[in-house]
């Protein structure tokens, strides 16, 4: 039984969320709170397994509450607010602080939760299985602009080498621990698929861009992967590379229930890049990326997965490792250095799946 604390300043929404959750035999609402101060007291007293947390509340808002929770009593938190769509930067900040995922409430709020009920239930259940660690005081200062190298002819043509990264649950925080630590002179383009709906990936890209020596942007059709540029697949669109090496976007049906899909991107890369591509699979639920990683591996590309010890959810990296195509399994703090080494030195010699840390 998963024990849930519901935090929302609206009495109507507290009742509606409670009703949806308690209709499930595996979920129990152990308490409700109307603001962050009350929520912190309830967490200390009730020790819930999962917290659903509103963003905009009196006395102490959701982001302030989340920061204190992750510092003092870390546990799985699902952000649940109308602001998670209208205020996408607040959502990205919440994920950066350690929230597992988010669900957008219907707007106006005084309507049925029926439209988001399946997503809410799935997200709460996933959160209950997630690993949560205490917030690190050494997290990068994402509002501090970084020094970038001036573009040259070599950085304005299609990159000869490529890094392709896929992630899902826990991915935004993982990307914040990876992208800003890649060197500004990395001689490769970088493509990223993060499972995320439309409206949020631009804010994620902007936040990463402010922290990174690399330029980070939401991908557009026709973009070219160049050295020093990170392109993030826009939420709600599959991203591939065409035969000419330019970005293609499509709204074909979801793969593994998601769009964008890591497999869709990875499957488009072997013919273009082969062993000059580095495939990376970070934290995430499910198995998206395993088929594509296998295709890249067969083409000679080194495959790097996040080690179980640091993932929020080990599903996607596990699926790749179980295929026997993970050349390296590396904890999150060492992912950026491992990517850089693979770009510069190529695939390691040795048995697949052996850890080099």
Residues with catalytic function: 168, 195, 288
Q: Is the peptide bond before 108 cis (omega within 30 degrees of 0)?
A: yes
Let me know how long the chain is: 357
Alpha carbons 282 and 312: distance in angstroms, whole number? 9
DSSP state at residue 254: P
Alpha carbons 247 and 241: distance in angstroms, whole number? 5
Contact 273, 162 (CB under 8 A): yes
Angle formed at CA 171 by CA 166 and CA 177, multiple of 5 degrees = 105
Pick from 316, 286, 313, 284: nearest CA to 303: 316
Alpha carbons 84 and 53: distance in angstroms, whole number? 11
- Taking residue 147's Cβ as centre, other Cβ atoms within 10 Å add up to 6
Pick from 264, 262, 265: nearest CA to 287: 262
CA quadruple 138, 142, 144, 145: dihedral sign:
positive
Judged by DSSP in three states, 97 sits in helix
Pick from 49, 57, 45: nearest CA to 14: 57
Pick from 190, 219, 218: nearest CA to 205: 218
């Amino acid at each position: 039984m998963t024990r849930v604390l519901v935090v929302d300043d609206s009495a109507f929404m507290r009742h509606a969320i409670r009703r949806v959750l308690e209709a499930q035999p595996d979920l129990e609402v152990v308490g409700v709170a109307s603001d962050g101060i009350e929520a912190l007291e309830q967490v200390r007293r009730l020790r819930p397994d999962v917290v659903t947390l509103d963003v905009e509340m009196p006395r102490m808002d959701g982001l302030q509450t989340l920061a204190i929770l992750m510092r003092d009593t870390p546990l799985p938190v699902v952000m649940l607010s109308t602001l998670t769509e209208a205020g996408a930067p607040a959502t990205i900040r919440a994920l950066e602080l350690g929230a597992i995922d988010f669900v957008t409430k219907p707007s106006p709020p005084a309507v049925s939760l029926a439209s988001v009920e399946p997503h809410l239930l799935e997200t709460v259940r996933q959160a209950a299985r997630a690993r949560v660690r205490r917030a690190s005081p050494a997290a990068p200062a994402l509002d501090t602009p970084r020094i970038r190298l001036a573009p040259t002819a070599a950085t304005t043509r299609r990159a000869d080498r490529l890094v392709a990264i896929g992630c899902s649950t826990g991915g935004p925080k993982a990307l914040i621990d990876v992208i800003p630590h890649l060197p500004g002179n990395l001689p490769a383009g970088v493509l990223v698929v993060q499972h995320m709906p439309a409206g949020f990936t631009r804010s994620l890209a902007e936040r990463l861009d402010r922290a990174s020596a690399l330029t980070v942007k939401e991908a557009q059709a026709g973009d070219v992967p160049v050295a020093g540029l990170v392109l993030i697949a826009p939420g709600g669109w599959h991203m591939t590379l065409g035969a000419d090496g330019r970005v293609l976007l499509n709204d074909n049906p979801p793969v593994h229930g998601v769009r964008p899909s890591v497999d869709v991107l990875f499957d488009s890369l072997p013919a273009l890049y082969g062993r000059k591509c580095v495939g990376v699979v970070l934290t995430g639920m499910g198995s998206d990326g395993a088929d594509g990683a296998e295709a890249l591996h067969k083409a000679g590309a080194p495959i790097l997965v996040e080690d179980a010890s640091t993932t929020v959810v080990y599903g996607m990296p596990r699926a790749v490792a179980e295929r026997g195509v993970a050349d390296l399994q590396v904890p999150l703090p060492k992912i950026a250095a491992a990517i850089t080494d693979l770009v510069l030195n190529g695939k390691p010699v040795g048995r697949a799946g052996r850890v080099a840390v």
